[in-house]
Amino acid sequence: MSGADHERNAPTRRQVVKFSFYRIDPAWRLLPPKGRREAKRDLCRAVEAFGDRLLVRSYSLVGMRGDADFLLWQIGERLEDIQEMATAVFASDMGPYLSVPHSYLAMTRRSTYVTPKDRDAPTSRDTTLNPSDAKYLFVYPFVKTRAWYKLPKDERQRMMNEHIVTGRRYPSVKLNTAYSYGLDDQEFVVAFETDEPSDFLDLVMELRETEASAHTLRDTPIFTCIAVSLRQALDNLGAPGDTVRAGAPHEPAAGGGWARVASADDLTESASKVVYFGGDQVALFNVGGNVYAVSNRCSHAGGPLAEGKVEGTLVTCPWHGSRFDLASGKPEGGPATKPVGTYRVKVEGGAVFLATSEVAAAKSGRFSTEARRTSERPT
């Protein structure tokens, strides 16, 4: 088997994807300001507690739609984690005032329709979603007609080729596709990320004119979402006496402090592990007892670094061979020219903690027998 065949056919863990659109009860705005502030903090803590199991991105829909106020886009590996976070949200002080008017469950998989150019692309490119830092997100469920599935595969591929080529004329718009067959009422959920809403509008108009569009049964409702931190999304709900402020998307947790992301027992000697921190996928590596944390996405084409080969303190991307220094994130060979993000690490109380890196070089955490025996919480 060639290297390309092995890369394309290698088993890759697929992700569970959930879009939960929340609506606030108007009675919330009548609560005393102090009670609202405490409830918002409690909800943020509830969601942040899942940072080691789920990648969670938050968006505000206030002023965009009348039936939803904010979105939590969740990506993980287990349905149970999605369910447990939903339970934690409703168990928070804010839970009694929240409803979910729209909810979409899906999973990633390799696309059925692949152009000749993409035929040799690694499977993990389709089975791993990696949200960007785009300002806007457009989400909608999608269902094809039954007549579409009766067409010959070659005929469907021909029409999808036109569809794909049209999409590639808009490089500022990134498409994330997840599949819901048997999991939810729709067949797909599509999420488009961009900094230019006008580009997305033009793309959708052009896609309406493609031949494949005639086989669409349903592609509504459509949600226009603005990327903000969860704290900002909750502040955007507004209430008498509240101060309106602009917030940066996906800003870190209050204080920028340490967050527990894994058990030390999960990261044995020479092991790697993917965790979620601050809305990003992070790859952890245990090299000779030192723990390093870098962005899991290669800066060249987004390959999963956690699946790469490690030699010394260098990791090689499994897609195109780019090599990165685990301590600094700097490229040391291959096609990549930009560094990957790094994170500060500490290991104590039998757990691995991360914080955002304030300098280019990541500080490694060190395993110790004593640390494994102490409390699970940092001192």
Question: Can you give the pLDDT at residue 368?
Answer: 35
Q: Kindly report, residue by residue over 207-242, the tens digit of the pLDDT.
A: 999 999 999 999 999 999 999 999 999 999 999 877
Give the pLDDT of residue 125: 62
In whole angstroms, give the CA distance from residue 190 to residue 177: 5
Mean pLDDT, all residues of the chain: 86
3-state DSSP assignment of residue 108 = coil
What is residue 210's predicted lDDT score, i.e. its pLDDT? 94
Residue 116: its pLDDT value, please? Answer: 66
Contact 69, 60 (CB under 8 A): yes
| Confidence at residue 362, expressed as pLDDT on a 0 to 100 scale | 35
**CA–CA distances in Å: residue 332 to residues 29, 41, 64, 153:** 54, 42, 45, 44
- Report how far residue 180's alpha carbon sits from residue 182's, in angstroms, rounded to the nearest whole number: 6
**More confident: 125 or 31:** 31
Predicted local confidence at residue 203, as pLDDT:
96
Q: Report whether pLDDT(155) > 60.
A: yes
Other residues' Cβ atoms within 10 Å of the Cβ of residue 135: 16
pLDDT at 119: 60
Residue 312, pLDDT score: 93
Q: Is the bond preceding residue 240 a cis peptide, omega within 30 degrees?
A: no
Task: For 245-276, write each residue's pLDDT tens digit.
Answer: 655 555 544 445 788 888 888 888 888 988 88
At 86, the amino acid letter reads A
Instruction: Kindly tell me if the per-residue pLDDT of 287 is higher than 80.
Output: yes
pLDDT for 375 equals 28
Q: How confident is the model at residue 133 (pLDDT cuts 50, 70, 90)?
A: confident
- Kind plus residue range of the DSSP H or E element containing 89: helix 79-91
β-strand partners of 104:
19
pLDDT at 306 over 60: yes
The CATH number of 3-235, from 3.30.70.1030, 3.40.50.720, 3.90.550.10, 3.40.50.970, is: 3.30.70.1030
- Where along the chain do its domains lie? 3-235, 254-373
pLDDT of residue 357: 67
Mean pLDDT of 118-139: 78
Mean pLDDT of 93-100: 98
What pLDDT does 13 receive?
76
Top mean pLDDT of 227-236, 313-322, 368-377 is at 227-236
CATH number 2.102.10.10 is the correct assignment for the domain at 254-373: yes
Residue 369 predicted with pLDDT over 60: no
Q: Is the pLDDT of residue 3 over 70?
A: no
Measured distance CA(225)–CA(22) in Å, rounded: 12
**pLDDT recorded at residue 376:** 30
Specify the pLDDT at position 37. 94
* CA-closest candidate to residue 31, choices 91, 97, 98, 124: 97
Q: How far apart are the first and last CA of the chain?
A: 51
Q: What is the predicted pLDDT for the residue at 258? A: 86
Range 116-135 average pLDDT: 73
pLDDT tier, 117 (very low <50, low <70, confident <90, very high otherwise): low
The predicted pLDDT at position 265 comes to 87
Rounded percentage of the chain residues whose pLDDT exceeds 90? 66
CA distance 199 to 81: 35
